[in-house]
């Protein structure tokens, strides 16, 4: 079976980018080991007002320290930090954006969570998503899996005994009918309500866990859409463009899908700040085209 490094060696990635991808991916081992000791909430909130689980804080500090020690990364933008961490002495100019532990509210009930990462080779963590050099997420489920793109398709690896081996190559997102939507139904705007009504009339099936990365992985495999819309009292939605939308959207696009806020392709949107929030619709094009049509109407 093809290992992660063997795959990377067949791509046009520079050696230091290969090293960085492997370095981040293997942090799934200590993060997973830390689950049992970090079950509670930390008693703090991140910049977006979300309660931080102890493992949110631990994972953030751990990955940031590993990246700084590597000297491969000049900027790090994390969902758990107010500001971008800068390393002016880095020997390589990569910028990393990350959600160290997406879905952390599910830790105490032992449901699937993950780590979302995007990598730029221009040293700017606030770049548009379409400038991303690589995107990946580690999903902590029955298996630990790594979903990765370096701009030439999407590949899925499984971790066993400290080694990632390929499970699936050149993954393509099918047209599908699964859907998951955040936000309270009573707060949905008319466009989103019409969108969900159309999906359900066409036989759509609801799949929503509260973990963005886990819900997206279902969409990647089976087709459909994940959405967290703007609401009547919150035009910006809940999820972050830099840490969540751009890496997941880059993967979706590489698999033949799409990410939009209902009007704009989110990969073309320039982040205004690290915690730039945005409505999100990401998934199969038969679904994203539907919400774009409804919003235009």
- For the annotated catalytic residues, the residue numbers are 50, 56, 79-80, 99, 101-102, 244
Token duo for residue 45:
């909130």
Give the pLDDT band (50/70/90) at residue 110.
Answer: confident
Q: Model confidence over 220-234: pLDDT tens digits?
A: 999 999 999 999 999
What pLDDT, on a 0 to 100 scale, did the predictor assign at position 38? 73
Ranges of each domain in the chain: 4-168, 178-296
CATH level 2 (architecture), domain 178-296? 3-Layer(aba) Sandwich (3.40)
**Integer Cα distance of 258 and 128 in angstroms:** 15
Q: Which of 38-47, 60-69, 93-102, 136-145 is predicted with the least confidence, judged by mean pLDDT?
A: 38-47
**Burial of residue 106 (number of CB atoms within 10 Å: 0-12, 13-18, 19+):** middle
User: What does the pLDDT look like over 111-156, one tens digit per residue?
Assistant: 899 999 999 999 999 999 999 999 999 999 999 999 999 999 999 9
Instruction: Report the alpha-carbon distance of residue 295 to residue 297 in Å, rounded.
Output: 5
Report pLDDT for 42.
44
Q: Which fold has domain 4-168?
A: Fructose-1,6-Bisphosphatase; Chain A, domain 1 (3.30.540)
The H-or-E segment that residue 135 falls in is: strand 134-140
């Amino acid at each position: 079976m093809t290992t992660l490094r063997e795959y990377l060696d067949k791509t046009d990635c520079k050696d230091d980018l290969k090293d960085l991808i492997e370095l981040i991916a293997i942090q799934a081992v200590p993060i997973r080991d830390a689950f049992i000791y970090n079950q509670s909430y930390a008693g703090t909130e991140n910049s977006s007002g979300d309660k931080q689980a102890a493992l949110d804080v631990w994972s953030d500090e751990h990955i940031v320290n590993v990246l700084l020690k590597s000297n491969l990364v000049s900027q790090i933008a994390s969902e758990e930090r107010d500001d971008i961490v800068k390393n002016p002495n880095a020997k390589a100019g990569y910028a990393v954006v990350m959600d160290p532990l997406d879905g952390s509210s599910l830790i105490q009930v032992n449901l699937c969570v993950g780590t979302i990462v995007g990598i730029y080779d221009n040293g700017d963590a606030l770049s548009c998503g379409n400038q991303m050099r690589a995107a990946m997420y580690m999903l902590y489920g029955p298996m630990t899996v790594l979903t990765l793109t370096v701009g030439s398709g999407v590949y899925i690896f499984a971790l066993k005994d400290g080694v990632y081996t390929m499970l699936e190559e050149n993954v393509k997102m099918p047209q599908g009918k699964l859907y998951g939507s955040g936000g309270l139904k009573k707060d949905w705007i008319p466009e989103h309500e019409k969108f969900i009504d159309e999906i359900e009339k066409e036989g759509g099936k609801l799949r929503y866990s509260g973990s963005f990365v886990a819900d997206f992985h279902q969409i990647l495999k089976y087709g459909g859409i994940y959405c967290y819309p703007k609401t009547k009292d919150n035009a910006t939605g809940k999820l972050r463009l830099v840490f969540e939308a751009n890496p997941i959207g880059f993967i979706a696009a590489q698999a033949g899908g799409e990410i939009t806020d209902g009007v704009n392709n989110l990969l073309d949107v320039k982040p205004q700040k690290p915690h730039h929030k945005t409505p999100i619709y990401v998934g199969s094009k038969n679904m994203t085209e539907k919400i774009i049509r409804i919003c235009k109407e």
